[in-house]
Amino acid sequence: KAGVTQTPRYLIKTRGQQVTLSCSPISGHRSVSWYQQTPGQGLQFLFEYFSETQRNKGNFPGRFSGRQFSNSRSEMNVSTLELGDSALYLCASSGAGQNTEAFFGQGTRLTVV
């Protein structure tokens, strides 16, 4: 069974640009969550999607958005990039039942210059 796949693995963008990150969950998993990891703030929850609907949202500005497709693949978009958006973005997928284990991808390292 393939794990959670995140693409790209590394990304360098310029301030003001926008970026889209992709996450393919484990086959059969319908919940996809996104987290931002920085040295200063640690791991922070961005949002969670289930069956194409956003179920939970963290405390991030509206520049951070996401969506989920019918095949459960998810994308995360950050517009008007700021230097502080430089981080490791982790995606996790979970099964259909509640409170199931989250499986993480290897993350996308975003650097904003």
> Does 102 engage in binding with another protein (CB under 8 A)?
yes
Residue 43's contacts (CB-CB under 8 Å, 6 or more residues apart) are 35, 36, 37, 90
> Does 103 engage in binding with another protein (CB under 8 A)?
yes
The binder of another protein chosen from 24, 94, 110, 112 (CB under 8 A): 94
Judge contact between 66 and 54, C-beta under 8 A.
yes
Tokens describing residue 33? 């969550």
Tokens describing residue 68? 């989920």
The binder of another protein chosen from 56, 71, 77, 80 (CB under 8 A): 56
* Region 35-54 residues binding another protein, contact defined as CB under 8 A: 35, 42-45, 48, 50
Where is 67: in which H helix or E strand?
A: strand 64-68
Q: Which residues bind another protein (CB under 8 A)?
A: 31, 33, 35, 42-45, 48, 50, 55-56, 58, 88, 90, 92, 94, 98-99, 101-107, 109
